[in-house]
Amino acid sequence: METYKAMTAESVGEILSQAGAEVMIRSGRSDNYSAPREFSFEVKAIFPNGMGMHVVARQFNYRDPWEAKGRVNDMVDAMLLRDGTFTVLPKGYKWFQGVDEECGLDEEKLREIVECVGKVNVKLYQLQEMTGDL
């Protein structure tokens, strides 16, 4: 049986902060589920290398009592930004290849992506644009 690890805006913000990013957090739906937004929280981050991420937990997942208690956010979506627009990573990386959004990420995958994006050498974009690979 899988273990569901709930993520919160604060826990996602902490993952990004630990990777050196500046972080901004905004909650969506309230605990009583009456807020009109379609997401439960979002976290935006900018890394020292200039890359940005927008992480969204779109809705609460409901789990049966034997799986987890009540509403949880155990999956998030992450969008990649460069110079304020959506982008992909240069070739050679595991994530964001041909897409600017990775969906259905658990905490472990999110940590992998954050580590990857935080270490991207942005000069690779220029190089791959010059060679026609990007």
CA distances from 12 to 3, 20, 27, 108 (A): 18, 13, 12, 11
- Considering the chain, what percentage of its residues have pLDDT values greater than 90? 46
Q: Tens of pLDDT along 44-92?
A: 999 999 999 999 987 655 554 444 455 557 788 999 999 889 999 998 8
Per-residue pLDDT at 6 exceeds 50:
yes
Q: Tens of pLDDT along 16-53?
A: 999 999 999 987 655 555 544 556 788 999 999 999 99
Q: Structure pTM? A: 0.80
Q: What is the pLDDT of residue 61?
A: 55
Residues 56 and 39: their CA atoms lie apart, in Å, by 7
Residue 55, CB-side half-sphere exposure with 13 Å CA sphere = 32
The mean pLDDT value for 102-106 works out to 91
Evaluate whether 43 touches 55 at the Cβ level (below 8 Å). Answer: yes
Domain ranges of the chain: 9-131
